Structure formats: C-alpha cells, structure tokens
Structure 1
Amino acid sequence: MKKLVFLLILLTSLSSFSQDPFLQKSNPEAKKEAIKITNLYIPELALTGDEQLLFQQKVEEFLIRRYKIEAEFKGKEKLELLYQLQQMETDDMQDILTREQMQVYKKIKPRIQPLETVSKE
C-alpha cells in the first residue's frame, strides 16, 4: 500500500513540474516582439546579460498567452483576461528583477506595454 501511495505522489509531482506544451511551441512573431520589448526595457532597467535573456523569455511566454486571448475573446472579457495576464507577468518578473528594477518596471510598463481599452457599444 505504501508503494502505491508513493507511486501516486511521484506521478502527481512529475506532472506538476512538466512544462506547458502550448508555451513550448516556437512563435517567431512572439519572439521578435519580445526582443523589441526587451530592448526598450534594457536602458531603463539596466538589465545584465542573464537578466536580459530571462526577461525576454518571460515576455515571449506572456506574448504567446496574450495572442491566444486576443484570438479567442472579445470586448470586456478579453480586456479582463489581458489585465489578469499583465498582473501575472508583473508578478513573475519579481523572480528576475531586483527590488529597484521592479519599482522602475512597474512605472514604465504601462508606457511600453499598454493595456487595450474597450469602446462602449
């Protein structure tokens, strides 16, 4: 019985550490846009070489998610999902950036990566 429980826990933990296959797909458009966005942040945040690469990968990951939301949703629902996604991206950047860089990032993000607006219909 202990072996069975151990096996179930092991299988569960392995699946939780697996990566999202959707995000593993290469998207040349997202990669190109991520490079462009990262280059706008580099002088503002004084990113080091390692930080630049991690930052760019994180931006690309969220761009892929953004493209999916933009393709599947419209109106207020789309805006709400994009807002949530932007909050998740900001939270994830805390793992890459220093505290000082994070403060600057939060100030300049609306200018570099603005959120869409929805017109009243």
Structure 2
Amino acid sequence: MKYLITLFIIVLPIIGFAQDPMLQNDTDELEDQATQITQQYNNELALTSKQFVLFQKKVEEFLIRRETIETKYKGKEKLDLLFTMQEVETREMNDILTRPQLNLYKKIKAKIQPLSVVDKR
C-alpha cells in the first residue's frame, strides 16, 4: 500500500505537467494559418509527406507562442522575444528537415515569416 501511494504521488505531477500549455490554445484559425505557411515552404523545400505533417505541427506550435508574446509584450521586449522564438523554431526544424532543406529554410524564412516591426515613438 505504501508503495502504491508513493507511486501515485510521483506519477500524478508528471501527468499533470506533461502537456505543453502553449499548445492547449489551439484554434482552427491558427491551424489554417500553419497549413498555409507550410504550403509556402513546401513550394520551396519539397517536403515529404511525413515532413509536411511534422513541419505543420511545429509551425502551429510556434504560431501559438507568437500569439502569446504579441498579446503580453510591447516594444523592444516583444521584438527580442519574437527574435529568440524564431531562433528556437529554426533549431527545432533541424530535426525535421535535411541539411540542404534547412539551409534553404533559413534563407527564405524572413520572407515567409517576417518578424514584427516595432514603431519607435
């Protein structure tokens, strides 16, 4: 009995925190936007069907994070966070794309997914 209680105490927090809270705000609009962005990349990168699905999910994950940053932060702090987020996204695409695809992705990313422009007033 003591073993079961200890196991329950250890497993419960792990299960409770297993989901990424950023991904719980998924909307159909962001999913559609992720599909459109992925299609634009696919036109340039020639993704396989498996890559397309993984790439789309990763884009959607970062669109959710971007939306959160854009609503909570302003000015330079917002731009810094968006820049850092895009660097993380690029690193994570390394697991999905081949090296030639990743090099091309880095070149076209600014055109397809530009950072926000901050008005300095």
Q: TM-score, normalised by structure 2?
A: 0.85
- Considering only aligned residues, what root-mean-square deviation do their CA atoms show, in Å? 2.4
Gaps of at least 5 residues in structure 2 are: none
Q: Who is 1:37 aligned against?
A: 37
Q: 1:12 to 1:85 in 2, by over 3 A?
A: farther
Alpha-carbon separation, structure 1, partners of 2:51 and 2:78 = 30
Gaps of at least 5 residues in structure 1 are: none
Contact 2:90–2:106 (Cα < 8 Å) also in 1: yes
Alpha-carbon separation, structure 2, partners of 1:13 and 1:102 = 37
Q: Who is 1:119 aligned against?
A: 119
Q: TM-score, normalised by structure 1?
A: 0.85
Percent identity (aligned): 53
The aligned amino acid for 1:32 is D
Cα displacement (A) at 1:118: 1.4
Q: Who is 1:18 aligned against?
A: 18
The aligned amino acid for 1:120 is K
Runs of at least 4 residues off by over 6 Å: none
- Listed one character per residue, the Cα deviations across residues 72-119 of structure 1 (whole Å, up to 9, x for unaligned) are 111111101100111111011001001110000000000100111212
Q: Who is 2:49 aligned against?
A: 49
SS at match of 1:19: coil
1:65 pairs with 2:89: no
Alpha-carbon separation, structure 1, partners of 2:14 and 2:97 = 28
SS at match of 1:117: coil
1:94 pairs with 2:113: no
SS at match of 1:116: coil
